[in-house]
Amino acid sequence: MAIRLGAPNYPGDTMVLTGRVEEVDGDTATVRVLGANGIGSHVTGTVTVTVPTASTAPVVPAVSGEAG
């Protein structure tokens, strides 16, 4: 993750976070992110994520009472 902070974000401000996939290489993706409020861009940057495949994803047990 590499981010840069810009305009301040104060308590009560509304900030909208968006992201766009910039590059995919196998199971790794680079995502450009932007967090903006009424003043302007609060945070910008890129995040590199690895997407697990079905064979490597963790198994999450169902919780009793969940519809399923």
For 14-67, what is each residue's pLDDT tens digit?
A: 999 999 999 999 999 999 999 999 999 999 999 999 987 777 777 778 777 655
Predicted local distance difference test score (pLDDT) of residue 65:
67
- Give the separation between CA 66 and CA 57, rounded to whole angstroms: 21
**Does 68 have pLDDT greater than 60?**
no
- Give the separation between CA 41 and CA 19, rounded to whole angstroms: 13
- Residue 28: which residues within 8 A CB-CB, separation 6 or more? 48, 49, 50, 51
Predicted local distance difference test score (pLDDT) of residue 55:
74
Predicted local distance difference test score (pLDDT) of residue 34:
96
Predicted local distance difference test score (pLDDT) of residue 66:
59
CA distances to 8, 30, 31, 57 from 48, in Å: 25, 4, 6, 18
Residue with tokens 């994803």: 57
